């Protein structure tokens, strides 16, 4: 049974429903084709219409809902008046989450499921509920999101705790531990007509580097002594937020600074200029500025400043490295500004990928209503499964 925007349609000549699984999520795509003789369906379908699919073997009309989604494509194909068709495609509400953008958000000391429900309340369609969001055991020190899709934000949270998420046919978000919900189905020689299993060593990753953002930290205070003539002093690092004290100590006066070549004209009134890329402090003097700010000979002064330090975290599993050699994954995540967040992500990626997965394809007899992410029992001893 098929309804589109609340109206039943029973004249499709082909229909398919595909449920795809990712590492931490699943989504569904529905497609159907209709004859459109003499424009039979020319005004029936509009992108954005809600699609609901029911299926049962013994009940007519069917009452078991297996898909709810939104029309994303309506394609008319005309070949004269007798070969006109219309093809429809819909995505479930999990995919709809990709359309909504999370504004800059910072969560401090909040448990993961609390963050999930808060994000959903702010950025998801009001029709999507969160009844099946389950509590985790992780409370990150800090986690930030900045202009990413709601789907990607949920995916990031799921990766941290090895959870799985999707929006079901009742438009309820499931966010739960992976491999904890049983489908109740067993695949064996009574319902499997073909099977193929393989172990994929190529997908093993036993080392993970996470490159986060760069953050400002205090650099060591640097001390110099002026000779009275030289105006350029080189720092150890590229400086941010400089503070120059002349002379050094409690009697020192904080000097006024400006940016080297920051304007077309010479910066008047500044005691020194900062040449960031060359790591230099330049005291001003000469006829162009009309004064001399170079400390007198023998005067000691200090430069306090901050420097950028990159967040780089490495996690690895030595047992896996011994078995499969080093297999490294590199994640560039400039949205990560907390070192602990980078550490958690690196550790979890290695935990998930350190062993080669067993992957299988099976063809089955009968109608199985399965949800990607739920567990299924495979009992095929002849294939060593």
pLDDT tens by residue, 72-125: 999 998 776 667 899 999 999 998 898 889 998 999 999 999 999 999 999 999
Q: Is the pLDDT of residue 170 over 90?
A: yes
268-299 tens-digit pLDDT? 789 999 999 999 999 998 888 889 999 999 99
Give the pLDDT confidence score for residue 162 in this predicted structure: 84
Give the pLDDT confidence score for residue 64 in this predicted structure: 87
Rg of the chain over Cα atoms, rounded to whole angstroms, equals: 31
d(CA 354, CA 377): 23
Q: Is the pLDDT of residue 53 over 90?
A: yes
Which whole number is the average pLDDT over 362-384?
86
Q: Is the pLDDT of residue 328 over 90?
A: yes
Q: Is the pLDDT of residue 256 over 90?
A: yes
Which whole number is the average pLDDT over 179-193?
89
Give the pLDDT confidence score for residue 266 in this predicted structure: 63
Residues 6+ apart with CB under 8 A from 56: 62, 63, 64
Give the pLDDT confidence score for residue 122 in this predicted structure: 95
Q: Is the pLDDT of residue 332 over 60?
A: yes
Six-digit token pair at 109?
A: 């000391």
* pLDDT greater at residue 330 or residue 262: 330
Are 279 and 235 within 8 A, CB to CB?
A: yes
Whether pTM > 0.85 for this model: the answer is no
Are 145 and 102 within 8 A, CB to CB?
A: yes
Which whole number is the average pLDDT over 240-260?
91
Are 161 and 349 within 8 A, CB to CB?
A: no
* pLDDT greater at residue 55 or residue 267: 55
Q: Is the pLDDT of residue 264 over 60?
A: no
Give the pLDDT confidence score for residue 81 in this predicted structure: 63
- pLDDT above 90 covers a percentage of the chain that reads 62
Residue 281: other Cβ atoms inside 10 A:
25
């Amino acid at each position: 049974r098929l309804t589109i925007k609340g109206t039943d349609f029973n004249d499709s000549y082909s229909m398919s429903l595909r449920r795809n699984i990712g590492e931490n999520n699943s989504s569904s795509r529905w497609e159907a084709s209709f004859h459109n003789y003499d424009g039979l369906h020319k005004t029936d379908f509009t992108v954005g219409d809600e699609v609901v699919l029911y299926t049962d073997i013994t009940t007519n009309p069917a009452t078991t809902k297996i898909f709810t989604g939104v029309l994303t494509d309506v394609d008319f194909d005309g070949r004269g008046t007798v070969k006109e068709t219309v093809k429809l495609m819909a995505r479930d509400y999990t995919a709809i989450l990709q359309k909504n953008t999370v504004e800059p958000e910072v969560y401090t000391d909040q448990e993961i499921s609390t963050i999930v429900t808060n994000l959903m309340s702010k950025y998801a369609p009001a029709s999507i509920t969160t009844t099946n969001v389950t509590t985790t055991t992780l409370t990150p020190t800090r986690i930030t999101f900045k202009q990413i899709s709601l789907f990607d934000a949920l995916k990031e949270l799921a990766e941290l705790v090895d959870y799985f998420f999707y929006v079901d046919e009742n438009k309820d978000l499931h966010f739960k531990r992976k491999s904890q919900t049983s489908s109740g189905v067993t695949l064996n020689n009574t319902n499997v007509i073909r099977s193929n299993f393989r172990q994929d060593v190529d997908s093993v990753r036993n080392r993970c580097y996470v490159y986060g953002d760069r953050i400002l930290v205090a650099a060591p205070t640097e001390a110099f002594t002026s000779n009275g003539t030289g105006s350029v002093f080189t720092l150890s690092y590229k400086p941010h937020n400089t503070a120059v004290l002349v002379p050094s100590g409690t009697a020192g006066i904080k000097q006024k600074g400006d940016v080297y070549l920051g304007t077309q004209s010479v910066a008047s009134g500044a005691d020194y200029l900062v040449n960031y890329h060359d790591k230099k402090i330049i005291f001003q003097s000469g006829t162009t500025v009309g004064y001399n700010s170079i400390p007198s000979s023998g005067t000691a002064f200090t430069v306090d400043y901050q420097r950028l330090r990159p967040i780089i975290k490495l996690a690895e599993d030595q047992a896996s490295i011994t078995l499969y050699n080093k297999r490294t994954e590199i994640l560039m995540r400039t949205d990560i500004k907390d070192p602990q967040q980078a550490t958690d992500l690196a550790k979890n990626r290695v935990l998930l990928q350190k062993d080669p997965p067993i992957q299988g394809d099976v063809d089955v007899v009968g109608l199985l209503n399965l949800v990607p992410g739920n567990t299924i029992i495979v009992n095929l001893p002849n294939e060593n499964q």
